[in-house]
Amino acid sequence: MKKSFYPLLLVLVLSSCYSGPRGELFGVQPREEWVQVNPYGMNYIHYGSYTMGPNDQDVPYALDARSKTVTIPAFYMDIHEISNNEYRQFVYYVRDSLYLDALAQNDDDRYFRAENDRGQELDRFVNKGYVLNWEEEVEWEDEDVFDLLYDEFWLQGNDRFRDIPQLDARKLNYRYYWIDFHGAANKDGKDEEYSEVNSINQLHSVRGHSDRSQFIIEEIINVYPDTLCWIHDFSFGYNTPLKDYFWHPAYDDYPVVGVTWGQAKAFTFWRTQILNEWKRFNGETIVQDFRMPSEAEWEFASRGGLELNLYPWGGPYIRNIQGCPLANFKPMRGDYVEDAGCYTVPIESYSPNDYGLFQMAGNVAEWTNTAYDEAVYDFTHDMSPEYEYHAKVDDPPSLKRKVIRGGSWKDIGYFCQTGTRSYEYQDTAKSYIGFRCVMSYLGRGKNVDPQDFN
């Protein structure tokens, strides 16, 4: 193997000395042709500037936002909130990968390969010496397979209710890695320890170190939603039937709730993983990343290109000319059904805004990537503003706040306004908070005529 490598290396070295046709500057050729298409289920949001912040009075006198003009680069955004069924794909992936990994570690050679011919495995950062065979279905009829997986991943003994077999959701832990770019770019040489709630290691980051691995943060997080959020959010109400909200097919097209900010973040990394595995398998080398939107991106997309409007559909009112509510919110005290839904409603209910995005107001409030600070509008940049903070385990609760936007089924109309901001703690799961993903657009933007700049 080494002997065959040396001639290839020699060819690469010699070819690197070639200065191009007639010694002129032509860049590195050939280059992969790049055409970025809309990711499935997403719409393109063209770059632009807008007036970020409230366009109406500060009803709660929160004093946490002021109007400022900002510019947002082009990006893609999900046309609707992530649904229960979409999030269930994530949960099932974690479940199946744990099954296959347990069988591989038990030396069942049906469920792993020595070489990675598809680019798919459970753990990309740690070399286990094998990759999972995703094409092999778990043979539940095999007694050894059944016993191994049943004992390890299903509820046992007193944990079972009415002797009903149930998967132990506490075992559904997803391992992923992210790069601390802010730590790597740190110029002042000051050590900083970063640790999410579910981190398994704490790392310091100092710019200029030769060890890149210190900026690669490992996370392990349980991915199963809090199915009891409907009960603990409303102590003096009967919402017990909604404990089935996540897994029951009646709610497949409803927005997922009961997910923490950390779980939403893990979902974006998993979504990135499965897309780029498919691209590599089909010969593409350029990767693309899903992520949560910044607060500024979310508001820009919510406005739908309509400047200085209170709501995503434009205009100052949350009802149409016939008096019908235009979003799923709480129209009147004690009256949740005037908008045609008691709790949440399906993800493509009501009319989309001018960017084709459904329910940027009401239904469920949405996590953003932005850390909440009352004074953030005063110090963030006017080009793609963002404020990130990776909370330490021992940080006070005020440093674990993340911005949520859009209002929900339980909120009054004020929280449905495009400029209204609120927050929730990153390690809490609520029955009224969901999320959607975005992806950055690479390049200047679509439908831009180069002649306009000549």
Region 75-86: mean pLDDT is 98
Region 204-232: mean pLDDT is 81
| Cβ atoms 81, 363 nearer than 8 A | yes
| Cβ atoms 413, 333 nearer than 8 A | no
Tokens at residue 196, please? 């999410």
CATH 3.90.1580.10, the chain: domain bounds: 1-81+294-454
| Cβ atoms 383, 297 nearer than 8 A | no
Per-residue pLDDT band at 85 (split at 50, 70, 90): very high
pLDDT of 17 above 90: no
Q: Which residues 6+ apart lie within 8 Å of 106 measured at CB?
A: 148
Residue among 156, 157, 216 at smallest CA distance from 183? 216
Greater confidence (157 vs 87) lies with 87
| Cβ atoms 202, 214 nearer than 8 A | no
Greater confidence (63 vs 203) lies with 63
pLDDT at 116: 53
Tokens at residue 56, please? 């109406």
- pLDDT tens-digit profile of 237-255? 999 999 999 999 999 999 9
pLDDT at 56: 81
Alpha-carbon gap, residue 212 to 198, rounded angstroms: 22
pLDDT at 189: 44
- pLDDT tens-digit profile of 366-400? 999 999 999 999 999 999 999 999 888 889 999 99
Greater confidence (8 vs 443) lies with 443
pLDDT of 192 above 50: no
Alpha-carbon gap, residue 282 to 274, rounded angstroms: 13
Region 305-309: mean pLDDT is 90
| Cβ atoms 113, 103 nearer than 8 A | no
Tokens at residue 452, please? 């306009």
pLDDT at 368: 98
Alpha-carbon gap, residue 156 to 358, rounded angstroms: 42
* Fold designation for 1-81+294-454: paralog of FGE (formylglycine-generating enzyme) (3.90.1580)
Tokens at residue 255, please? 């927005």
pLDDT of 105 above 90: no
- SS3 letters across 19-54: CCHHHCCCCCCCCCCCCCCCCCCEEEECCEEEEECC
pLDDT of 200 above 90: no
Radius of gyration of the chain (CA): 25
pLDDT at 440: 96
Collapse the DSSP code of 291 into the 3-class scheme (helix H, G, I; strand E, B; otherwise coil) and give the result. Answer: strand
pLDDT at 402: 97
pLDDT at 400: 96
| Cβ atoms 436, 405 nearer than 8 A | no
Could you tell me what percent of the chain has a pLDDT over 90?
Answer: 57
Q: Give the number of residues written for the chain.
A: 454
Collapse the DSSP code of 249 into the 3-class scheme (helix H, G, I; strand E, B; otherwise coil) and give the result. Answer: helix
Whole-structure pTM value: 0.88
pLDDT of 191 above 50: no
Region 167-183: mean pLDDT is 91
Greater confidence (273 vs 9) lies with 273
> Whole-number mean pLDDT of the chain?
85
Alpha-carbon gap, residue 437 to 265, rounded angstroms: 9
pLDDT at 73: 96
DSSP 8-state class, residue 276: H
Residue among 173, 176, 99, 100 at smallest CA distance from 131? 100
Beta-carbon-side half-sphere exposure of residue 176 (alpha carbons within 13 Å): 23
Residue among 318, 297, 319, 299 at smallest CA distance from 308? 299
pLDDT at 396: 94
Residue among 45, 411, 97, 406 at smallest CA distance from 277? 97
CA distance between the termini of the chain:
53
Per-residue pLDDT band at 304 (split at 50, 70, 90): very high
Q: Which residue has the tokens 């235009």?
A: 326
pLDDT at 111: 83
- pLDDT tens-digit profile of 359-371? 999 999 999 999 9
Least confident segment among 88-92, 155-159, 404-408, 414-418: 155-159
Per-residue pLDDT band at 420 (split at 50, 70, 90): very high
| Cβ atoms 256, 246 nearer than 8 A | yes
Alpha-carbon gap, residue 385 to 71, rounded angstroms: 8
Alpha-carbon gap, residue 454 to 451, rounded angstroms: 5
